Amino acid sequence: MPYTIKSFKASNGERFSQIYDDSEGGFPLFYPTAFIARSKRLSTSHETQKVYLEAIKRVCEWEVRSNIDLTVRFQRREFLSTAEIDGLATYLQTARRGKPGDTIGRTKSNTYVAYAAQYFKWLAEDVITNPNTADIRAAITAQDETLTAKVIRKSGSRAARDQRILAKKLPDDARVQLESLFENPFQKIYRDSDHGPRLRNISMLRVLYATGMRRGELLSLKLGNFQESSGGENANLIIERNHHDDFDSRVRQPVAKTLGRIVPIPVQTENQILEYISKWRAEVPGVGFSDNDFIFVNHRAGRTQGRPLSDSSLHTALDTLKRTFPDLASLHPHLLRHDWNYRFSRTVDEEHWSFKDERETREMLMGWSDGSSMSQLYNRRRIQEKANDIGLKVATDTRRSE
């Protein structure tokens, strides 16, 4: 299909995306652009806007395949039939790769259906003259309800999903290999030019391991966000809300999804960051040294050399590490966030913290709001473990009394 989504950075730092019809000279599509600009721009992040556009792009592809022009249909006050909506829902849920008939995951599928329904409702109200008459309002509502009914209902229990989340942590072999690389980051390095990128990659993993921050927060760290230890105080990393950062040259800007905060890092992590900044990063052509320049940068020669590392480059770097060290096959940034929470729970158990102190501290260090559902979920694990211990003692006492 001739539709593509292109992303841009405005002069004020704002990121935005548009759908283009390559067969029509590469112009952005009017109504999808208007929908994002007028309905979503001020209320959603750029990343969320791109998901909306991906859903609308699939709608546009379906229009071509089905020989349907939604704008013309709605202008004529004609709405989609049940069969057409069935066909659209099937197309939205079809996987682009794999075998014929394969579908995408339930969560993404439901998102596409919901976002497409929002676009349909907006488009109908925008192109129909006087859409608030009783009959037109009823028709728009009926079409919306028929499409949203295509959302795939959740299977399985919430409890089972929660248990899967709580069970996520680094496998033992991956932990051993990772800790080995923390101590000796240059294992299996055979070219001098690979030393800088390797230390950068290991330093990033060490930060994720030590803090549990998200990868967008990691890639957004600037030199001014790194506070060295001083006067007996430990080193810290400052995580800031940074949407539409004018200093970030990346069109696909990594952003912090959680609240801004200050997180402590151990001396070993501090020393490794310092080594990377002063010895390896400093030698990269085009790199900046102000507080607004990013810590982790691209080392390879080319137009992006010295610029902040992109999300795709981080994934490429991790894939390279996994090929070199197979024990890291299960490693990904968010797993380290789960693992941090697992280790945090073990630590507060050993130190006999109250549930209130555990929850409040976890929320602060993870950047979660007060009363976060994720914080409560991790606290329930501790409650469950204690309940198991008490239940076992009661069972033991019962056997003794028989």
Higher pLDDT pick, 247 / 48: 48
Distance separating alpha carbons of residues 211 and 264, to the nearest angstrom: 7
Is the CB of residue 58 less than 8 Å from the CB of residue 92?
Answer: yes
pLDDT tens, residue by residue, 217-238: 999 999 999 999 988 889 999 9
The candidate with the shortest Cα–Cα distance to 19, out of 31, 247, 9, is: 31
Distance separating alpha carbons of residues 129 and 113, to the nearest angstrom: 26
pLDDT above 70 for 155? no
pLDDT above 60 for 279? yes
Q: What is the mean pLDDT of residues 236-252?
A: 70
pLDDT above 80 for 66? yes
52-61, 207-216, 337-346, 373-382: range with lowest mean pLDDT: 373-382
Q: What is the mean pLDDT of residues 267-286?
A: 96
CA 17 to chain centre: 18
Q: Given strand 226-227, what is the order of strands in its sheet?
A: 226-227, 235-239, 261-265
Whether pTM > 0.85 for this model: the answer is: no
Distance separating alpha carbons of residues 123 and 59, to the nearest angstrom: 12
Is the CB of residue 356 less than 8 Å from the CB of residue 379?
Answer: no
The candidate with the shortest Cα–Cα distance to 197, out of 293, 294, 306, is: 306
pLDDT tens, residue by residue, 144-154: 999 998 887 65
Distance separating alpha carbons of residues 344 and 166, to the nearest angstrom: 12
Is the CB of residue 217 less than 8 Å from the CB of residue 204?
Answer: no
Winning range, highest mean pLDDT, from 4-18, 38-52, 375-389: 38-52
Distance separating alpha carbons of residues 164 and 334, to the nearest angstrom: 14
Distance separating alpha carbons of residues 145 and 347, to the nearest angstrom: 49
- Cβ–Cβ contacts within 10 Å for residue 33, how many? 18
Containing 265, the helix (H) or strand (E) segment is strand 261-265
Length of the chain counted residue by residue? 402
Q: What is the mean pLDDT of residues 309-329?
A: 93
| Structure-derived torsion over alpha carbons of residues 259, 264, 268, 271, reported in degrees to the nearest 10 | 80
Structure tokens at 392: 């076992």
Distance separating alpha carbons of residues 242 and 14, to the nearest angstrom: 11
Average per-residue pLDDT for the chain: 86
Is the CB of residue 375 less than 8 Å from the CB of residue 368?
Answer: yes
